[in-house]
Structure 1
Amino acid sequence: MNARNTVKRSIVFFLVPEFTMIAFATAIEPLRAANRMLGYSAYQWRLASVDGKPVKASNSVECAVDTSLEVERRKMTGGDRPSMVIVCSGVNVETYSNKTTFAWLREEYNRGVSIGGLCTGAHVLAAAGLLSNRRCAIHWENLPGFAEAFPKANVFADLFEVDQNIYTCAGGTAALDMMLKLIGDDFDEHLVNRVCEQVLTDRVRSPTDRQRLPLRARLGVQNSKVLIIIELMEANLTEPLSLIEIADHVGLSRRQIERLFRQEMGRSPARYYLEIRLDRARHLLLQSAMPVVEVAVACGFVSASHFSKCYREVYARSPQQERGERRQLLVA
């Protein structure tokens, strides 16, 4: 066979119910564009689900698949085994538990197949036992719950991570950056540039580029001291800093910090700190099975009763009600 026409990678995209369409599309489209630029199918792929039936994405679009896990497991010893498996998931991934999927992923990995995860796919990989002491990326919204559920995984709020033959990305358009990195490793920068021109993106972002907008843009805050203080707060949620400790760190008095927060944030620094701790708590309640008391401790509250009181004041419902409403939505 002409080396030019050799398949570079054969990829199975495994679709988990409620997968994120944008991450899936921005992962598969650069492969199609690369094939077009090369003039042959260097990349081939097929879509899989547990039972071979169509899978509905989080936007309610139903996607047909080509194969099932039963068929894929039969291919393991044949010549049609993939060189890479990419798990595509999205919302409510923390409720996904399928022993057949986890076993299949471990079997493929043990046979030398590269394993990837898009958006919240790292959660499925970690549940399969593939991310212990491995670097990985997951969508920022799911990061707190993931970190609590899988403490042995080295999770980062990066766009994507490649740790040996494990590929994970934060979803959205980060899937495009990860696949462009893959294409660049397989071929060269020239092909990557041509693909970028085709999909109308001007560059491949670095793995460590921010998932979220910088604080200055996200909050509309210009004062550098306030931004430094907020970064300190966000980095110290489990063991909150005192206002005196914060003042010593930024070289301001308590009164100056109080005045700046009133001007820039419309609230006291203590109130703002409480709100970001409660925001993290809400993510943990919605995305993990952690007991309420453990959620309280993880977010810097000395007792579950104090946590519940503060939560109710901000969200007009208790932590237990928050989790109960979430369960009702999942059942419905």
Structure 2
Amino acid sequence: MTTAAPQSKDFEIFVQREFCDLELTSVIHTLQTANMVHDAPYFGWRVISDRPGLVQGDGVCLVRAEPVIADHCMADVLIVIASKSADPAVWMARLRSMRRLGRPVILLADAATAFIARTQIETGAVTTHWADAAILRETRDQPRLTGTLSEFSNGIITAAGRAATAELLIGLLARELPVSEITEIGRHLLLPSIRTSSSTQPFAPEAFHKFYDKTVADVLTIMEDNLSDPLSIARIANQVDTSQRCLERRFRAAFGTSPGQYYRKLRAGRAHHLIQSTRLPLVDIAAATGFGSSSTLATAFRKTYGITPSEFRGKHKERVLDYSAKV
């Protein structure tokens, strides 16, 4: 059986002064690679800005942008590149026009942050880069803000952006191209794996032991090795030959939280991975992550991710940007 040819799609890429070089080049390079793999120019793009002409990025990137014409020349997809010095007014107007047409809008990192901060999110989940998410949670209650790579709600895709931008684009193209070509795009981009949109952002400090003092690094290793049968903080402190009070100070200096709170968050993160990547019953996942019962897991999971494990599993099945099981 032959696969139907993908329908041509045009992408509109909105930039402003000091845009993120990495995100713009990731978008364009991924689209170029997709056209090369498919051996046809199915995916087109143009760069637009509220200040047309040459626009300087946050590094060495310089791009020539076309002007934004209100309610005209609308593309199939609008992508707003992150910019710390951006004025959201122009792209917010473009966003509303796209939504009226029922066309998707992708907001990367700073753009997603600006949207979340300026919009009352009443339905659906949203996300942004984890560093901005932490600030948003400090300034106001954000029950719909998650730690995933991207979220699709009400026609808007909010995303972490940065180095995950290429995978986000691949997720979109997965709806248009056969599995074999999606895999080939990933190979050309030298991606070791293609993460789904619901993958957790890789900001967990335990992945970077070498950046912390030896005592903290040793504690993180002990915690990781004892997720299913958690140890008391006093016992962990004894194993690394320090006092519980000293360990508390070291953890707060490194992570801004207590060892106990961090341990629970680490176990909730492991539960998140198991819910996302397996079909294990929630009670078994609770046992595997040291929570003892599904209700205790649900409490910790909601505190960390803003939803219950059951809600997350149900939502994961319907994720718009998740790849097919074959990818």
Work out the CA distance in 2 between the residues paired with 1:20 and 1:262: 45
Deviation track 1:227-274 (CA, whole Å, cap 9, x = no partner) reads 369x9xxxxxxxxxxxxxxxxx945363x34434655x9981221343
Work out the CA distance in 2 between the residues paired with 1:150 and 1:51: 33
Work out the CA distance in 1 between the residues paired with 2:143 and 2:105: 15
1:252 has 2:248 as partner: no
Contact 1:23–1:175 (8 Å) recurs in 2: yes
Structure 1 position 58, deviation (Å): 1.6
Structure 1 position 36, deviation (Å): 1.9
Work out the CA distance in 1 between the residues paired with 2:209 and 2:34: 38
Deviation track 1:277-312 (CA, whole Å, cap 9, x = no partner) reads 659xxxxxxxxxxxxxxxxxxxxxxxxxxxxxxxxx
Number of the residue aligned with 2:201: 211
| Structure 2 unaligned spans of 5+ | 211-216, 258-327
Work out the CA distance in 2 between the residues paired with 1:274 and 1:143: 19
Aligned residues: 247
Number of the residue aligned with 2:249: 271
| Paired letter, 1:14 | F
Structure 1 position 217, deviation (Å): 3.1
Distance 1:196 1:277, change over 3 A: closer
Where 1:154 maps in the other structure, the secondary structure is coil
Q: What does 1:96-115 correspond to in 2, within 5 Å?
A: 96-115=86-105
Q: Identical aligned pairs, as a percentage?
A: 16
Number of the residue aligned with 1:81: 74
Contact 1:18–1:58 (8 Å) recurs in 2: yes
Structure 1 position 138, deviation (Å): 1.6
Work out the CA distance in 1 between the residues paired with 2:190 and 2:233: 49
Structure 1 position 49, deviation (Å): 1.0
Work out the CA distance in 2 between the residues paired with 1:211 and 1:152: 17
Number of the residue aligned with 1:245: none
Work out the CA distance in 1 between the residues paired with 2:254 and 2:13: 36
> Could you tell me the TM-score, scaled by structure 1's length?
0.63
Work out the CA distance in 1 between the residues paired with 2:248 and 2:116: 36
Distance 1:33 1:173, change over 3 A: same
| Paired letter, 1:158 | T
Work out the CA distance in 1 between the residues paired with 2:208 and 2:222: 13
Number of the residue aligned with 1:14: 14
> Could you tell me the TM-score, scaled by structure 2's length?
0.64
The alignment's C-alpha RMSD in Å is: 3.5
Distance 1:68 1:153, change over 3 A: farther
Contact 1:102–1:127 (8 Å) recurs in 2: no
Where 2:162 maps in the other structure, the secondary structure is coil
Larger Rg: 1
Work out the CA distance in 1 between the residues paired with 2:207 and 2:117: 35
